[in-house]
Amino acid sequence: MAKMWAGVTSGETAAIADDFNSSIRFDSRMAEQDIRGSMAHAMMLAHAGIITQAESEQITDGLAGILEDLKSGALKIDETSEDIHMFVEQVLTGRIGETGKKLHTARSRNDQVALDLRLYLLDESDSILEKTKALISAVTCKAEEYASAIMPGYTHLQRAQPITFGHHLMAYAMMLLRDTDRISECRKRINVSPIGSCALAGTTYATDRRFEAEKLGLSGICLNSADGVSDRDFAVELLSDIAILMMHLSRFAEEIVLWSSWEFGFIALSDLYTTGSSIMPQKKNPDMAELVRGKTGRVYGDLMALLTVLKGLPLAYNKDMQEDKESVFDACDTVKMCLDVFAGMVNGMTAKTGNMRKAAENGFINATDLADYLVGKGLPFRSAYKISGQIVAECMKTGKVLETLGLDEYKAFCPLIEADVFEAIDLDNCVARRKSEGGTSVGSVEAQIAYVKSVLQKAE
């Protein structure tokens, strides 16, 4: 089949070359964005006096009909077309005749595909933001439910200090909130129009690029035509932001895997978000969390693939850039599915607060509070630290914990210790005293929850 770009060449290419060159298998998902862009372009051509108003209306009506038929299924995408841009133009010309051929005046596929990708990623960014906020809301609600549930906090995966489950969960809410900030900032850089850059050098026609951008709801235009068609930093930035978001989900997923194990026993996952074993009837596997953890590597690969495609390209457009879309599409699809699954998994998660408390009681995680108590009695911190360590060592030898050690045993290490030491090392008191902003006391956690809720409310 002869191509619409036939001219200096015959337009006849080998079947294997057609298949290798074709992108319609994946860029067809940008059909709506392509049509929106073309409708704005037709309006601009009439606005600039390049085509008549009647021709512009004929083109936009034809494009609207194509979009309607694609959505209803009355029109099927022809997989033998080279790309979505050529497919739409061919269908339009077939429906309205010669006027359809005027649509491509003062633009190239180079700026057209750059525009389509930007419009598509704006829509995807909005969807990812919405789903991330839904997950933040789920995490925040769960944190509110368990704002006072004591558990061990960890460093190096060793029990460290007493915290609340609500405090731990709010750490992830804060991470995810920053992810929304990053994606929102990135969206501003996506939201500019490359259309009118043409192949790379602009056009001789008296176009109005800002009019066209405005019709598309974009905030401005790319200020250098070669840059407008040749760079995909906006796509790289979004993939980077998605990769960071996936990293946060993966860390959370890892903890869910640990917490739901028999060894930890801190949470129970809903049956709706677990699977069984084909051979071991006792198993309840956290497959959804594990898949999120696994898919994070996939998204990292998408980011690295795009960076690698772009790293050696001279200006301006090169066909290598066709390879940008599948990585971007895959990353967006993956993160959206992971966010949906994660929100459901968190909503259905139940904390085993008794097991959390028991783990907190057996890990000497109030040893820092014992040292602080000794400082309050007048000892330098380093001396207090050493005495506390010696007391912990003695407990480990005798199978006791700090709460069950007798007052006389305490005094053998330091005569300054009085009966009030037991109040100082009580886990509830240890948590309650950490009232510093951002800390683990119930009041502090409730302040964090209120803050996140207010941010989400403002974003609505």
What residues pair up with 152 in beta bridges, in sequence order? 162
Our count of domains for the chain comes to 3
- Same domain assignment for residues 98 and 122: no
Residue 175 has pLDDT above 90, yes or no: yes
Q: What is the pairing mode between strands 192-193 and 220-221? A: parallel
Q: What is the average pLDDT across 65-72? A: 98
User: What distance in Å separates the CA atoms of residue 126 and residue 134, rounded to the nearest whole number?
Assistant: 12
pLDDT digits (tens, 9 = 90+) for 9-42: 656 778 888 778 788 989 999 999 999 999 999 9
In contact, 234 and 190? CB cutoff 8 Å: yes
pLDDT surpasses 60 at 428: yes
CATH of residue 252's domain is: 1.20.200.10
In a shared domain, residues 257 and 348:
yes
Please choose, from the candidates 299, 300, 192, 292, the residue with its C-alpha nearest in 3D space to the C-alpha of residue 252. 292
The sign one gets for the Cα dihedral 215, 216, 220, 224 is negative
Q: Is 5's pLDDT higher than 60? A: no
Residue 2 lies in a domain: no
5 compared with 151, residue with greater pLDDT = 151
Q: Are 169 and 142 in contact (CB under 8 A)?
A: yes
Confidence at 185, pLDDT banded by 50, 70, 90: very high
In percent, the amount of the chain with pLDDT more than 90 equals 91
User: Catalytic residue at 10?
Assistant: no
* 85 contacts 109 by C-beta, under 8 angstroms: yes
Residue entry with tokens 């995408």? 77
Has residue 82 been placed in a domain? yes
For residues 134 and 239, state if they share a domain: yes
**pLDDT tens digit sequence for 242-268:** 999 999 999 999 999 999 999 999 999
Per-residue pLDDT reduced to its tens digit, 202-213: 999 999 999 999
Residues 6+ apart with CB under 8 A from 306: 232, 235, 236, 239, 323, 324, 327, 328
Q: In which band, very low, low, confident or very high, does the pLDDT at 1 lie, cut at 50, 70 and 90?
A: very low
Residue 432 has pLDDT above 70, yes or no: yes
Per-residue confidence (pLDDT) for residue 7, from 0 to 100: 59
Q: Does residue 167 carry a catalytic annotation?
A: no
Q: Do residues 271 and 323 both lie within one domain?
A: yes
Name the band, by pLDDT with cuts 50, 70 and 90, for residue 280: confident
Q: What is the reported pTM?
A: 0.93
Place of tokens 């005293």: 433
> Rounded to whole angstroms, how far apart are CA atoms 86 and 152?
60
Is 349 found in the same domain as 369? no
Does the residue 220 lie in any domain?
no
Burial class (CB in 10 A: 0-12, 13-18, 19+), 9: exposed
Q: Is the pLDDT of residue 363 over 90?
A: no
Q: Identify the weakest region by mean pLDDT among 235-239, 326-330, 360-364, 454-458.
A: 360-364
Q: Is residue 224 part of a domain?
A: no
Instruction: Please check whether residues 120 and 234 belong to one and the same domain.
Output: yes
Q: Supply the mean pLDDT for the chain.
A: 95
Q: Tell me the C-alpha distance between 215 and 210, whole Å.
A: 9
Domain match, 344 and 366 both = no
Q: Both 138 and 284 in a single domain? A: yes
Residue 81, domain extent: 15-105
What lies within 8 Å, CB to CB, of 324 at 6+ separation is 117, 232, 235, 306, 309, 310
Q: Is the pLDDT of residue 71 over 70?
A: yes
Q: How many CB atoms neighbour CB 167 within 10 A?
A: 27
Tell me if 29 is assigned to some domain. yes
| Whole-number pLDDT of residue 18 | 79
- Among 10, 156, 278, 436, the active-site one is 156
- 8 pLDDT band (50/70/90 cuts)? low
Same domain? For 345 and 263 the reply is yes
Mean pLDDT value of segment 274-284: 86
419 CA to centre of own chain: 51
Domain of 51, CATH number, reads 1.10.275.10
Inter-CA distances, 201 with 101, 129, 316, 423, Å: 22, 35, 9, 76
d(CA 246, CA 259): 20
Of the listed 277, 327, 383, 388, which one is catalytic?
Answer: 277
Same domain for 294 and 175, yes or no, is yes
